[in-house]
Each structure stands twice: as structure tokens, then as C-alpha cells.
């Protein structure tokens, strides 16, 4: 076949796989020699180190997955390797592109505001050198303005968006890019450039408990989890809300870093949905939520810093030492509400939190403690291994009732009710709060209601082994209703 370019560079970002990778496919089709690059971007990593996050499961997941990506490229073409550089991407990409004398750099879209700013700087530097910069859709099924309302504006309510998404879906949108067919263009590693990722310590980070958690990394890890989930997917709708049950796919971190193609996942779910699986339909709905939040971020980038509906920015949140102490208790899982505290223990110990519990924990911070949702969003951003700005922001704004298609502000989760409903035997609570393990099922959701005799029998001393509630839910609910109700224009929201 005839290729129009002599050389191209593929810049991997949130797409750490060689299979069904849009940017890699497009580069291989048009260039006779193609090199592949990943940048351990110091403009992202250095702030983590500055905040004391030198042991970060995300960084370890990436480094592990890069090793597998390197091996995948080598398997596709003799001598092909992944070039890994540690430095500011805005400098590394243009410098390497010039050094390799490529005519174009290929990458996939990233609509996070900071990423758009980064890409604009890279595009400008490449243009100054006469090098083109091409980007493609890869991390969602439908993006940006592909789905709009009849009148033209983007969707701000999920249900009609989902209906439009399903109506628009055709096999074309889920087809895999046949990378292997054009892999002969992968070029050997240039002399003087090291292949493969550095060690964690070489970039200033330390190992975490990632391997002890047995979370499989790379594309092979994604395949292992997907194969397991497809055996359980029919039950997903019935099991997904119960944190003590193996209901979720556990693929979220792989979706975040692109070690599995979103097209593959949607293809699997859609086929099973059409075959009548309610679980597959529910899971596909979650993938559609992800697309929805990404298009919200694209069309309304102000949500990264404030409420989707600006009227909610006028809410007066708790502040000062009392709020700081309450926030610290929430972060540490010391609120006195077992389901909330178990959820926080889960994220602290594993970097993951069950989706139902993300809603419960977020609602508690905002509507029981009266703390600005942005503080919780930022904390999740630092601690979730699967953190994705669009989804995290969308979830927090849903819980805080400040976003599009959000939970109405006057509906407030009761943490005790959520606990009894979704962890009725207290299995999840016992796993993460072993100090409460001996309490009977009826009392484990609200230890402060237990008698002294029951507490003594379970070996629990409130205030010592486990904290008393830091807030009374009923009083907090009344305060939250007043807080939201005092803001002009919210009554009609």
C-alpha cells in the first residue's frame, strides 16, 4: 500500500493499548515509519508529589501498563518499542517530533480543560516546526457535538440523551480499528532512545499496595476482568447497588486509562442487551452516563470549577475550623456513621469506592456536613485510582444537586437508611470496620442506638473504639433544606 508520510509519532495518553487504538491506526495507515511515545508528564506528576502523594496507585498502574504496552508493540513489529520520557509534555513532544523528523504527531482527544490547554501549546510548538498535529475520538462512543437536541443545544438531561444515544448507535460506531493490519509501519527504536517505562523510584514515586490488592494491570488485566464480568453481567442490575456483593465490573480504572477499548465494552454490552439481558442493559446505561458527563464537560467547561447551574454557587457552605474538622473526619472515615466510614476506609485502603457508596459518601459530606462539594470532589480526584474528571465532577454535582439532571436538592440520603437497604447484614461494614464486627445486624448500622449492654457484649466503646456521630442527621437535614432554600431561584430548580 502507498503511504503519504515518511514518518509519524503517536502520543499515547489515556489509551494505553495497541489493540483498537484510533490514533495508532490512523498513523500506521499514512506513515511509512511510526514511533510511539508516552510522556510521564511532570506538569501532572510534580503537583502530586508536592501534595504528598508520592505513593500513588494511579502512577503505579500506569507504569505497569506501559510495560505491557511496550511488549505489545514489540510483538507487532520486530524492534518496535514504546518511547517513554519523563518531563513536561509541552516540551517533550515537540522536541522528540523534531528530533525524529516526523511530519505529523497523532493522539486521541482529551477534553479535560487542562489537557486542552496542554494540547493547544503542543499544537502551536509543532506548527512552528512545520509538523501537523492530528487527534481522534477514542475514549467515548459519542463525543462533543455528535449528539445534540433537535433544537441544536447539547443535552442537559440524561434520559433523552440516552434515548438519542441508543437511536444513533450503529455497528460502525463500535467497530474496532484493525491496528495489526498496518503494523509493518512500526519503526525500530531510534538509536540513543531508551524503550520501556522507568521504575517508579526513578520518577520520584514509591510502590503502593496495588499488587497486594491483586488488581490486574494492562490490557491483559482488563481482559481478565472483562471475561469474569461477562459471566456475571446478566445479574448486574440486581447486584450493582450492594457493596458486599461482587456486582460491578471493576473495569473502571481500565476504562479510565484506556487499557481496554470503550468500543469493545459497548459492543459486548449492546449485544447482550439485544439478547434480552437486563444486566447488560443496565451496564450499557452506565457507559452512556460516562459519555453524557464527557459531553457536559466539553460544552460547559465551567463545571470544572463551579456549579453547572450558576445559581447554586450562591449557597453558603460551612467554613472555618468546625468545617475543617468535619471534613477531616469524613476523609479519615471517622464520622460515626458506619456505612459512610466503611466507604471511606475502602477508598483509603484500595483507591476504589463502590459506586453506590460514592453517592452516599458525597451526599453525607454535602448535605449532612454542609461542606462545599468541590472539597470532596478534589479529595476523590487525589485518591480514586479510576479518577476521571468528567465522571467525578458529574457524580459530585449530582449528589450536591448543583449539576445537570441532578438529584433534587430537597431529596437527602439518610445514611442509616442507605446502610440498612444496601448492606442489610452489615457484611461490607464488618469488612472495613472490624471493630464493629461483633455487633448484631440490627445495630451495626447505628451503633449509637445500641444499649450499653449490647455495646459491651460486642466489645465496643463509643468514643474510643468507634466515634459517636459527628452530626445528627435530622438536624442536618433541616439545616440543608434551609441552606438551599435561602438561595434565590432554587425553588424552581
> Domains plus CATH for the chain?
5-138 (3.40.50.620), 139-176+217-299 (1.25.40.80), 310-485 (1.10.579.10)
Burial 405-442 (b: 16+ CB within 10 A, else e): bbbebeebbbbbebbbebbeebebbbebbeebeebeee
**At how many degrees (to 10) do helices 262-274 and 278-299 cross?**
140
Helix (H, G, I), strand (E, B) or coil at 200: coil
Smallest Cα–Cα separation from 233: which of 263, 271, 261, 176?
Answer: 271
- Report the C-alpha gap between 470 and 336 in whole angstroms: 6
Please give the average per-residue pLDDT across 432-450, as a whole number: 98
38-57 per-residue burial string, b: 16 or more CB within 10 A, e: under 16: bbbbbebbeebeeeebbebb
Is residue 283 among the annotated active site residues? no
Can you tell me the distance from the alpha carbon of 448 to that of 445, in angstroms, rounded to the nearest whole number?
9
Catalytic residue among 143, 146, 355, 414: 355
Catalytic residue among 43, 143, 146, 286: 286
Helix or strand holding residue 64 (H, E): helix 57-76
Say which DSSP state 467 is in: P
pLDDT greater than 70 at residue 243: yes
380 CB neighbour count, 10 Å cutoff: 20
Q: Is residue 151 pLDDT above 90, yes or no? A: no
Summarised one tens digit per residue, pLDDT across range 109-149 is 999 999 999 999 999 999 999 999 999 999 999 999 999 99
Other residues' Cβ atoms within 10 Å of the Cβ of residue 321: 7
Exactly one of 43, 143, 146, 317 is catalytic; which is it?
Answer: 317
Q: Is 289 a catalytic residue?
A: yes
Q: What is the pTM of this model?
A: 0.96
Would residue 317 show up in a list of annotated catalytic residues for this protein? yes
- Per the residue annotation, which of 35, 165, 283, 396 is the catalytic one? 396
Cell triple for 136: 481522534
Question: Which segments of 118-228 are extended strands (E)?
Answer: 132-136
State the average pLDDT over residues 42-66. Answer: 97
Q: What is the pLDDT of residue 122?
A: 98
Which entry of 373, 377, 393, 409 is annotated as an active-site residue? 373
d(CA 78, CA 41): 28
Q: Compute CA 56 distance to the chain's CA centroid, rounded to the nearest angstrom.
A: 15
pLDDT for res 196: 84
Q: How confident is the model over 254-295, as pLDDT tens digits?
A: 999 999 999 999 999 999 999 999 999 999 999 999 999 999
> Cα(153)–Cα(161) distance, rounded to whole angstroms?
12
Q: How far is CA 427 from CA 139, 236, 444, 465, 487, in A?
A: 35, 19, 10, 19, 40
pLDDT value for 489? 64
Percent of the chain past pLDDT 70, that is, above it, reads 99
Q: Which of 35, 289, 330, 398 is catalytic?
A: 289
Query: 206 near 200, Cβ under 8 Å?
Result: yes
Strands 82-87, 31-41: pairing is parallel
Q: Which residue has the higher pLDDT, 311 or 195?
A: 311
Total residue count of the chain as it appears in this document: 493
330 in catalytic set: no
Query: Mean of the pLDDT values across residues 418-434?
Result: 98
DSSP 102-148: -SEEEEE---SHHHHHHHHHHHHHHHHTT-EEEEE--SSSS-TTSS-
**492 pLDDT higher than 80:** no
Asked if 393 is an active-site residue, the reply is no
Q: What are phi and psi of 12, to 5 degrees?
A: -80, 145
> Does the annotation mark 11 as catalytic?
no
All 3 cell numbers of residue 147?
Answer: 449528539
CA distance 397 to 375: 12
Cβ–Cβ < 8 Å for 300, 394: no
CA contacts within 13 A on the Cβ side of 137 = 16
Q: What percent of the chain has pLDDT over 90?
A: 94
Amino acid at each position: 500500500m502507498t503511504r503519504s508520510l515518511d514518518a509519524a509519532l503517536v502520543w499515547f495518553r489515556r489509551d494505553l493499548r495497541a489493540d483498537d487504538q484510533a490514533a495508532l491506526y490512523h498513523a500506521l495507515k499514512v506513515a511509512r515509519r511510526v514511533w510511539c511515545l508516552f510522556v510521564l508528564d511532570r506538569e501532572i506528576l510534580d503537583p502530586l508529589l508536592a501534595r504528598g502523594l508520592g505513593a500513588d496507585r494511579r502512577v503505579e498502574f500506569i507504569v505497569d501498563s506501559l510495560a505491557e504496552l511496550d511488549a505489545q508493540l514489540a510483538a507487532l513489529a520486530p524492534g518496535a518499542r514504546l518511547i517513554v520520557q519523563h518531563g513536561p509534555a509541552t516540551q517533550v513532544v515537540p522536541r522528540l517530533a523534531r528530533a525524529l523528523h516526523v511530519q505529523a504527531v497523532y493522539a486521541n482527544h482529551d477534553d479535560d480543560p487542562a489537557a486542552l490547554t496542554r494540547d493547544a501549546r503542543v499544537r502551536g510548538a509543532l506548527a512552528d516546526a512545520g509538523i501537523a498535529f492530528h487527534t481522534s475520538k477514542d475514549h467515548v462512543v459519542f463525543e462533543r457535538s455528535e449528539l445534540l437536541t433537535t433544537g441544536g443545544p447539547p443535552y442537559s438531561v440524561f434520559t433523552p440523551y440516552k434515548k438519542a444515544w441508543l437511536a444513533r448507535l450503529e455497528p460502525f460506531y463500535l467497530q474496532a480499528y484493525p491496528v495489526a493490519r498496518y503494523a509493518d509501519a512500526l519503526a525500530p527504536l531510534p538509536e540513543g532512545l531508551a524503550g520501556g517505562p522507568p521504575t517508579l523510584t526513578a520518577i520520584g514515586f514509591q510502590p503502593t499496595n496495588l499488587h497486594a490488592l491483586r488488581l490486574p494491570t494492562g490490557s491483559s488485566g482488563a481482559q481478565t476482568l472483562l471475561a469474569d464480568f461477562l459471566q456475571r453481567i446478566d445479574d448486574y442490575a440486581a447486584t450493582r447497588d450492594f457493596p458486599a456483593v461482587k456486582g460491578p465490573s471493576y473495569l473502571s480504572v481500565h476504562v479510565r486509562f484506556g487499557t481496554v477499548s470503550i468500543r469493545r465494552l459497548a459492543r459486548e454490552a449492546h449485544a447482550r442487551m439485544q439478547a434480552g439481558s437486563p444486566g447488560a442493559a443496565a451496564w450499557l446505561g452506565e457507559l452512556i452516563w460516562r459519555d453524557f458527563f464527557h459531553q457536559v464537560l466539553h460544552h460547559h467547561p465551567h463545571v470544572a470549577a463551579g456549579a453547572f447551574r450558576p445559581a447554586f454557587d450562591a449557597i453558603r457552605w460551612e467554613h472555618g475550623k468546625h468545617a475543617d474538622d468535619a471534613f477531616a473526619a469524613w476523609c479519615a472515615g471517622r464520622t460515626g456513621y458506619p456505612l459512610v466510614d466503611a466507604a471511606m476506609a475502602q477508598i483509603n485502603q484500595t483507591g476504589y469506592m463502590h459506586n453506590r457508596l460514592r453517592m452516599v459518601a458525597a451526599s453525607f459530606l454535602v448535605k449532612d456536613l454542609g461542606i462545599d462539594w468541590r472539597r470532596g470532589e478534589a479529595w476523590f480526584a487525589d485518591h480514586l485510582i479510576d479518577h476521571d474528571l468528567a465522571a467525578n465532577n458529574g457524580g459530585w454535582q449530582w449528589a450536591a444537586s448543583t449539576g445537570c439532571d441532578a438529584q433534587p436538592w430537597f431529596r437527602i440520603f439518610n445514611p442509616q437508611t442507605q446502610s440498612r437497604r444496601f448492606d442489610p447484614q452489615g457484611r461490607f461494614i464488618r469488612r472495613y470496620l472490624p471493630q464493629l464486627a461483633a455487633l448484631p445486624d440490627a445495630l451495626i448500622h447505628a451503633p449509637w442506638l445500641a444499649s450499653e449492654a449490647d455495646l459491651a457484649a460486642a466489645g465496643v466503646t463509643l468514643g474510643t473504639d468507634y466515634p459517636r456521630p459527628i452530626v445528627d442527621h435530622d438536624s442536618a437535614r433541616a439545616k440543608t433544606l434551609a441552606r438551599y432554600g435561602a438561595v434565590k431561584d432554587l425553588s424552581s430548580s
